[in-house]
Amino acid sequence: MTNTQVTLVQIDNYGPWTVTPEPRREVDLQTLQSRLYADLSQLIGNRGGYVFFTRFDNMIAVTNGLDESDHAMIQESVGNRYPVTVSLSVATGTTPAHALADATDNLQDRGSAQDKDRREILCGRTIGEDHRTDEDVEIAHFDVIDATGEYTDRLSAFETFIEIEQGYATLMKEMHGEHDALSFFVGGDNVIAACPTLTEGAYLDAIDHVTEVAGVDLRVGVGSGKTAHEAGMDAKHALEEARASGDAVWFAE
Amino acid sequence: MTNTQVTLVQIDNYGPWTVTPEPRREVDLQTLQSRLYADLSQLIGNRGGYVFFTRFDNMIAVTNGLDESDHAMIQESVGNRYPVTVSLSVATGTTPAHALADATDNLQDRGSAQDKDRREILCGRTIGEDHRTDEDVEIAHFDVIDATGEYTDRLSAFETFIEIEQGYATLMKEMHGEHDALSFFVGGDNVIAACPTLTEGAYLDAIDHVTEVAGVDLRVGVGSGKTAHEAGMDAKHALEEARASGDAVWFAE
Amino acid sequence: MTNTQVTLVQIDNYGPWTVTPEPRREVDLQTLQSRLYADLSQLIGNRGGYVFFTRFDNMIAVTNGLDESDHAMIQESVGNRYPVTVSLSVATGTTPAHALADATDNLQDRGSAQDKDRREILCGRTIGEDHRTDEDVEIAHFDVIDATGEYTDRLSAFETFIEIEQGYATLMKEMHGEHDALSFFVGGDNVIAACPTLTEGAYLDAIDHVTEVAGVDLRVGVGSGKTAHEAGMDAKHALEEARASGDAVWFAE
Amino acid sequence: MTNTQVTLVQIDNYGPWTVTPEPRREVDLQTLQSRLYADLSQLIGNRGGYVFFTRFDNMIAVTNGLDESDHAMIQESVGNRYPVTVSLSVATGTTPAHALADATDNLQDRGSAQDKDRREILCGRTIGEDHRTDEDVEIAHFDVIDATGEYTDRLSAFETFIEIEQGYATLMKEMHGEHDALSFFVGGDNVIAACPTLTEGAYLDAIDHVTEVAGVDLRVGVGSGKTAHEAGMDAKHALEEARASGDAVWFAE
Ligand SMILES: Nc1nc2c(ncn2[C@@H]2O[C@H](COP(=O)(O)OP(=O)(O)OP(=O)(O)O)[C@@H](O)[C@H]2O)c(=O)[nH]1
Ligand SMILES: Nc1nc2c(ncn2[C@@H]2O[C@H](COP(=O)(O)OP(=O)(O)OP(=O)(O)O)[C@@H](O)[C@H]2O)c(=O)[nH]1
Ligand SMILES: Nc1nc2c(ncn2[C@@H]2O[C@H](COP(=O)(O)OP(=O)(O)OP(=O)(O)O)[C@@H](O)[C@H]2O)c(=O)[nH]1
Ligand SMILES: Nc1nc2c(ncn2[C@@H]2O[C@H](COP(=O)(O)OP(=O)(O)OP(=O)(O)O)[C@@H](O)[C@H]2O)c(=O)[nH]1
Ligand SMILES: [Ca+2]
Ligand SMILES: [Ca+2]
Ligand SMILES: [Ca+2]
Ligand SMILES: [Ca+2]
């Protein structure tokens, strides 16, 4: 059974900052946000975690393998290099959705996202080294079948984007509502989901649902491991198997 | 009447690269993508343009004010600093959607996005300095009303994300289908759209549509200018006016 | 005759910031400094200028082609994305050393580098478009002859570094004292100098001086142009010619 | 007694790459080099190590606490995100200079820095967890006394730079020749040295030597620890003590 450790990363009081003393250049905000995300990708990723950009001012990470001191270091490093600070709230649960709900609750209890006195909160508990197992994290890597031939090389770039986006909007909602999973668009035609332990049937249902509602055909590779990186790398290899075999769902080994 | 210059940025043969010789670490792909986007934001943004991350492997930019040599320099700079190269296709039109459709067509004619011999294409025509006007670009900056109070401080971070995402998925499709506009999520609760000249009624209809379909309440500030930056900065100020006055739509001036 | 426009970039009140409230992690300072430098390289470089890291808290740029509004935009962009701000002071002169001396004077008049109330100064005058010529900037690109065979592949990495460094320390002082030129180490075995119009004899003397004092053998390519980039690119091509022909000094064209 | 683990980072075949097919824009090279350094600072730094930019194409790191797999991951991450690759050679020794000499030898044995077939070498041995002690690393943090008042606020920015640079050139050579230490300029008026266990007298001699030869007055804080970060942070605190007390040398605790 999975035991996902999820960290909510929230930029402190960011909305007001973006318009103080007057609205800041959008390209600078975009640069700031995407670089902060890139930095967190490296800081978290190089310890085996995954972080997703989500809304950029609120990012969600799967952090199995990172302890409190790792979190503290990441928070300090951001504070040392950016004009904004971040709060981090971590929680664990048998499903990623539950873990994130707890992490969010906990942070909300410390004050509003736009409370100017709430800065650099670091709260929650990580999983002790002794309680970690090889099945703590399940990652599903979804991919659109032949996106290049079906969309990119045929439609206008925005029409392609609409298709991918509607497929993602449908998938993320379904996977959350039905399976307590957290699904994130990661660029191109790819969606990575942090899932609880799910059956092949569950993945098939989700894929069928997206085909029906949004008309987009997906395949998925699934992996599990001690960290997001291990599970995710297995999922990528499983996806290659699915690509080769033509199956819609493939579980690593 | 608007005359939007749109540039399609496509990473050359990126899909195969991500899995050759075997799947690359996801965190490195995320870092690569978001930094490439940040760099384009600066390169394009510091000449008055806007670029949106879209699918990351295909990015869309509003580039009024950038000529062919600017495009060539940007392409060269990316080639000098990344393990991947980009193709750039530029086109202009009375609506952003038409311009992008032409730019896409043009690039598709040079070969597939996954053709390994199609590299660093630079095609299309920019608007001559003499033909540029102060109304070439119209930018609408949409924002969710009280996202912090309604969602961020109340729901789980993923539930909030679902709301924002469904609102965006609805808006992008409506604005494209009804108004030939290109709408991009830019983080937080914000969507920036490159639009043709639209009436207040058109914006009101779009906002109403999102409320009905997705249950998300938006306001919008609209600006126009010679470049995306000028129009966008006006739109930001207009949005501040809308925020202050309580109006759903506010046009700059 | 050259007419070099030089900009001094100084991080405001940086020393105190590095130790407040207590000493910050050195790796974060290094990251901050080198990224700020990389950003300035792009911001200034993409307008045809060159910037050198120098001491990192004080950087020196050759900015022919950038006007006041370019400087203001660069200053704003840094302020939007870093926890520190920068002051910019620009001056022009028939020699780079004089221009920089004036720029420094001007900034010193506004307050100390560690005055906590002196922030984001933008002072000095740029060269009007009408007064710019194709010979405003002279760039010399120095390179150690066979650094790989002589040092890198033979000595310990630090011994190699000592040789390169002593060569640079000798060259920078000589070129400044004798020729009012500003020479900067740019990595590897390369030094780039912003020079006034100098004769072949002057370059030969400098090279001989370095051989005598530091025992390091250099060659140099020299170019001139309207911007640092143009002059510098010519200098690079000239250096390739020097490399091929075996000459110690080569002037472009 | 110290047991410093040193890693030599060398960009593979970089010289030829910079001029193929013709010389690349200098600003792009500068951006590439400084970002690669910033990335290594984070990758190595977040595991407790220190890396110094040195010549940028050859960087030197103190990596106590990083094992082979950390090195492999760093090498892979660079390869995934840059147009160039790096070789890493690690060695340990009772003095930093000896460790680096061994690391360099080892890499040289695998081929020239400009051998186009020598790519992504990873060689050498790291210190086993069981053999690590709290005194493995000694870091000295040197700083110019009142650099702002003596130089920055008085001289031209280049004259100040010359003073700092001559001071550094003198110090690096002395500390290497007399004490087998590796000293690196880290920006501003600061030099950080990886040292063997040295006496107060040794530091005083080095400082006196710099005053005599280069006329620059230094103070130094010294710390030791299991990693460069621990030793370096102690050194920074010691430097604050020296600053407060007026002593030329201060050892942590
Ligand atoms: N983030 C991420 N994106 C990927 C990855 N692999 C591919 N992509 C993206 O997906 C896009 C499409 O590539 P593919 O999925 O290989 O191509 P396709 O045309 O859909 O073909 P098939 O998937 O093989 O049917 C690429 O441009 C990338 O943006 C990956 O591992 N991670
Ligand atoms: N990209 C971008 N994002 C912004 C901008 N302004 C605000 N945001 C984002 O929007 C989020 C929410 O901030 P606000 O819209 O100010 O807050 P709100 O709670 O919705 O309140 P009101 O909009 O004032 O009703 C912030 O965290 C930012 O992520 C902007 O100019 N550009
Ligand atoms: N900044 C910068 N560095 C360069 C450039 N060209 C070479 N280098 C650096 O110089 C180092 C040595 O390369 P080369 O100068 O080509 O090699 P060499 O062994 O000295 O051989 P020759 O110069 O051909 O005699 C490289 O590793 C780079 O770090 C350049 O255009 N700009
Ligand atoms: N890399 C690095 N640079 C620093 C650090 N502290 C200060 N600096 C640099 O040193 C410069 C000068 O600052 P200080 O040394 O505080 O100032 P000072 O005028 O010499 O005064 P005193 O050192 O107090 O005598 C700053 O601008 C920074 O560039 C540090 O911890 N690390
Ligand atoms: Ca696909
Ligand atoms: Ca809002
Ligand atoms: Ca050379
Ligand atoms: Ca000092």
Task: Give the residue among B123, B126, B92, B125 at the shortest CA–CA distance from B108.
Answer: B123
The pLDDT tens digits of the residues spanning B5-21 come to: 999 999 999 999 999 98
- Which regions of chain D carry the CATH code 3.30.70.1230? 4-131
How far apart, in whole angstroms, are the C-alpha atoms of residue D45 and residue D47?
5
Ligand 8 centre and the CA of D144: distance in Å? 4
Contact status of D21 with chain C (Cβ, < 8 Å): no
Task: Kindly report, residue by residue over C230-251, the tens digit of the pLDDT.
Answer: 999 999 999 999 999 999 999 9
Q: Give the A:C interface size as CB pairs under 8 Å.
A: 38
| Mutation choice for ligand 4 from D37, D52, D53, D148, CB with most ligand atoms inside 8 A | D148
Could you tell me which residues come within 8 angstroms of residue C97 by beta carbon, excluding any fewer than 6 positions away? C176, C180, C181, C182, D156, D158
Ligand 1 in contact with A15 (CB < 6 A)? Answer: no
Residue A163: predicted pLDDT: 98
Angle at D221 between CA D215 and CA D224, to 5 degrees: 140
Decide: helix, strand or coil at residue A239. Answer: helix
Instruction: Give me ligand 1 centre to Cα B14, in Å.
Output: 7
- How far is ligand 1, taken at its centre, from the CA of residue A8, in Å? 27
Kindly state whether D253 is in contact with chain C, defined as any CB-CB distance less than 8 angstroms.
Answer: no
The SS3 assignment for A41 reads helix
Whose Cα sits closest to atom 9 in ligand 3? Answer: C188
The CB of C237 under 6 Å from ligand 3? The reply is no
Query: Whole-angstrom Cα distance, residue D89 to residue C152?
Result: 14
C191 CA → ligand 4 middle, Å: 25
Residue nearest to atom 13 of ligand 3 (CA): D15
Chain B residues in contact with C46 by the CB 8 A cut-off are 43, 46, 73, 77
Rounded to a whole number, what is the distance in angstroms from the first to the last CA of chain C? 17
The model's pLDDT over B99-130, given as tens digits with 9 standing for 90+, comes to 999 999 999 999 999 999 999 999 999 999 99
Residue of C17, C39, C80, C85 to mutate, testing the A interface (most A Cβ within 10 Å of its Cβ): C80
Q: Is the pLDDT of residue C11 over 90?
A: yes
Cβ–Cβ < 8 Å for C99, C5: yes
- Put simply, the answer to whether A77 touches C25 (Cβ < 8 Å) is yes
* pLDDT band at residue B253 using 50, 70 and 90 as cut-offs: confident
**Is residue C17 exposed (0-12), middle (13-18) or buried (19+ Cβ within 10 Å)?**
middle
Per residue in C68-93, pLDDT (tens digit) is 999 999 999 999 999 999 999 999 99
Q: Strand, coil or helix: what is A234?
A: helix
Task: Looking at the CA of D192, name the nearest ligand.
Answer: 4
Distance C21 CA to ligand 6 centre (A): 34
The span from the CA of A172 to the CA of A52, in Å, is 13
* Closest to A83 (Cα-Cα) out of A17, A165, A164: A17
Residue C39 and residue B39: Cβ atoms within 8 Å? no
Closest-approach residue (CA) in chain C for B48:
C73
Closest ligand to residue B55's CA: 1
pLDDT surpassing 90 at residue C253: no
How confident is the model at residue A253, as a pLDDT?
A: 84
Closest residue by Cα to atom 10, ligand 3, is C188
Q: Taking CB atoms and an 8 Å cutoff, what residues of chain A touch B169?
A: 165-166, 169
According to the CATH classification, is domain A4-131 in 3.30.70.1230? yes
CA of C147, nearest ligand number: 3
Contacts of D248 (CB under 8 A, 6+ apart): D203, D204, D207, D218, D219, D220, D242
pLDDT at B162: 98
Q: What is the 3-state secondary structure (H, E, C) of chain C?
A: CCCEEEEEEEECCHHHHHCCCCCCCHHHHHHHHHHHHHHHHHHHHCCCCEEECCCCCEEEEECCCCCHHHHHHHHHHHHHHCCCCEEEEEEEECCHHHHHHHHHHHHHHCCCCCCCCCCCCEEECCCCHHHCCCCCEEEEEEEECCHHHHHHCCCCHHHHHHHHHHHHHHHHHHHHHHHCCEEEEEECCEEEEEECCCCHHHHHHHHHHHHHHHCCCEEEEEEEECCHHHHHHHHHHHHHHHHHHCCCEEECC
User: Strand locations in chain A, DSSP E?
Assistant: 4-11, 50-52, 58-62, 86-93, 122-124, 137-144, 182-187, 190-195, 218-225, 249-251
Sheet holding B86-93, edge to edge: B50-52, B58-62, B4-11, B86-93, B122-124
Query: Residue D133 above 90 pLDDT?
Result: yes
What is the biggest distance separating any 2 CA atoms in chain B, rounded to whole angstroms? 57
Cα separation of B173 and A161, whole Å? 10
Sign of CA dihedral A73, A74, A79, A81: positive
> Does residue B189's CB lie within 6 angstroms of at least one atom of ligand 2?
yes
Q: Which atom of ligand 3 is nearest to the CA of C149?
A: 19
pLDDT at B218: 98
Measured in Å, residue B204 CA sits from the centre of ligand 3 at: 60
Q: What is the 3-state secondary structure (H, E, C) of chain B?
A: CCCEEEEEEEECCHHHHHCCCCCCCHHHHHHHHHHHHHHHHHHHHCCCCEEECCCCCEEEEECCCCCHHHHHHHHHHHHHHCCCCEEEEEEEECCHHHHHHHHHHHHHHCCCCCCCCCCCCEEECCCCHHHCCCCCEEEEEEEECCHHHHHHCCCCHHHHHHHHHHHHHHHHHHHHHHHCCEEEECCCCEEEEEECCCCHHHHHHHHHHHHHHHCCCEEEEEEEECCHHHHHHHHHHHHHHHHHHCCCEEECC
Atom 30 in ligand 1: residue holding the nearest Cα: B18
D 64-93 residues with CB < 8 A to C? none
The CA-atom distances, in angstroms, between B123 and each of B70, B94, D194 are 13, 19, 53
Dist. CA D1–CA C234, nearest whole Å? 53
Query: B186 in ligand 2 pocket by Cβ < 6 Å?
Result: yes
The tens digit of pLDDT for each residue in A225-247 reads: 999 999 999 999 999 999 999 99
Are A169 and B166 in contact (CB < 8 Å)? yes
Strand partners, C193: C140, C183
Distance, in Å, from the CA atom of B83 to the CA atom of D82, rounded to the nearest integer, reads 5
CB B198 within 8 A of CB B179: yes
Query: How confident is the model over D41-99, as pLDDT tens digits?
Result: 999 999 999 999 999 999 999 999 999 999 999 999 999 999 999 999 999 999 999 99
Question: Measured over all CA atoms, what is the biggest interatomic distance in chain C, rounded to whole angstroms?
Answer: 57
* Tens of pLDDT, residues A36-92: 999 999 999 999 999 999 999 999 999 999 999 999 999 999 999 999 999 999 999
* B162 to chain D, closest Cα gap in Å: 31
Best substitution site from B144, B185, B189 to test ligand 2's pocket, by max atoms within 8 Å of Cβ?
Answer: B189
Ligand 4 mutation pick, C10, C11, C13, C14, max ligand atoms within 8 A of CB: C14
Q: Residue B22 is encoded by which pair of tokens?
A: 């075997």
CB neighbour class for D145 (10 Å; exposed up to 12, middle 13-18, buried from 19): middle
Q: How far, in Å, CA of B119 to CA of B88, rounded?
A: 10
Confidence at B233, pLDDT banded by 50, 70, 90: very high
Contact A22, A155 (CB under 8 A): no
* B144-148, B152-156, C51-55, D21-25: segment of lowest average pLDDT: D21-25
**Cβ of D147 below 6 Å from ligand 4:** yes
> Atom of ligand 1 at shortest distance to CA of A148?
19
A206 pLDDT above the threshold of 90: yes
Q: Which of D34, D158, D176 sits opposite C182 (nearest CB)?
A: D158
C14 contacts D188? CB cut-off 8 A? yes
Q: Is C242 in the pocket of ligand 3 (CB under 6 A)?
A: no
- Judged against a pLDDT cut of 90, whether residue D176 lies above it is answered with yes
B29 C-beta closer than 6 A to ligand 1:
yes
Ligand 4, from D151, D185, D190: best to mutate by most atoms within 8 Å of Cβ? D190
Nearest ligand, measured from the Cα of B15: 1
Closest CA to A205 of A179, A231, A167: A179
**Smallest CA–CA separation between B55 and chain A, in Å?**
5
**Measured distance CA(D116)–CA(D120) in Å, rounded:** 11
Q: State which CATH number among 3.40.50.450, 3.40.50.620, 3.40.50.150, 3.30.70.270 fits the domain covering B137-251.
A: 3.30.70.270
Does ligand 3 come within 6 angstroms of the Cβ of D28?
no
Ligand 4: does its nearest atom lie under 6 Å from the Cβ of D146?
yes
Asked whether residue A156 carries a pLDDT value surpassing 90, the answer given is yes
Q: Which of D20, D81, D119 to mutate to test the interface with B (most CBs of B within 10 A)?
A: D81
Query: Which chain B residues contact residue C73 at CB under 8 A?
Result: 46
Which residues of chain A are within 8 Å of residue D77 when distances are taken between CB atoms? Answer: 42, 46
Residue C180: C-alpha distances to residues C88, C137, C183, D52 (Å): 22, 13, 10, 30
Residue C107 confidence (pLDDT) above 90: yes
Tally of helices (H runs) and strands (E runs) in chain D: 8, 10
Asked if D58 is an interface residue toward chain C (Cβ–Cβ < 8 A), one would say: yes
Asked whether the beta carbons of residue B32 and residue D76 sit closer than 8 angstroms, the reply is: no
> What is the CB-side half-sphere exposure of residue A14 using CA atoms within 13 A?
27
The owner of tokens 């039109």 is B93
Residue of B nearest to A11 (CA): B188
For residue D185, which ligand has an atom nearest its CA?
4
Q: Rounded CA gap, C90 and D157, in Å?
A: 12
Q: Outline which parts of chain B fall under CATH 3.30.70.270.
A: 137-251
Point out the ligand 4 atom lying closest to the alpha carbon of residue D192. 1
In this prediction, the answer to ipTM > 0.90 reads yes
